[in-house]
Amino acid sequence: MVRIEDVVPREDEKERASGCYIMSLVAVMIGLPMPIINLLATGIFYFMSRKGTFFVRWNSIQALVSQVPLFVMNNILFWWTIRILFCFTDLSSTYIAYFITVNLYNIYDFIETVRSAVNTRKGLIHRWYLYSTITDKICKR
């Protein structure tokens, strides 16, 4: 089995693979209150790159997989916030605790995405904990 670390990417592959992470960064910035947007954007980019080379595919899948838990967490936070704004429920310490936890995760995700984009542009592989293992399982050469 060919490992992603064994692949030597070409210049255009590095650029495209790095674009996957940049895409999710841009989507996070644009659609911050609407969590579906970054998942959609990464999903679209994945479908555009799925016929690409192994290096591009692997990175686009890792970018997509990394967005899934973020989407779930942000979605819960989004609808919880809407419920508070529409007065269906009251503001509580539990909400603030969840808000802080999810935001910490968002910051971690943001930093990791930037690091991935930079490393991928250099042709290096940036492995995320858990997501890279899932990506290895999904993405075959």
Place of tokens 């990394």: 66
Q: What is the DSSP string of 77-118?
A: HHHHHHHHHTTSS---HHHHHHHHHHHHHHHHHHHHHHHHHH
Binding flag, residue 104, another protein (CB under 8 A): yes
64: number of Cβ within 10 Å: 23
| Residue among 36, 40, 68, 84 that touches another protein (CB under 8 A) | 84
| Residue among 26, 29, 92, 111 that touches another protein (CB under 8 A) | 92
Binding flag, residue 87, another protein (CB under 8 A): yes
| Candidates 20-28, 51-59, 100-108, 115-123; binding stretch for another protein (CB under 8 A) | 100-108
| Residue among 34, 44, 76, 100 that touches another protein (CB under 8 A) | 100
* Cα dihedral: 25, 135, 115, 100 (round 10): 60
36 token code pair: 């579906």
Interacting residues toward another protein by CB under 8 A: 84-88, 90-94, 96-98, 100-101, 104-105, 129-130, 133-134, 137
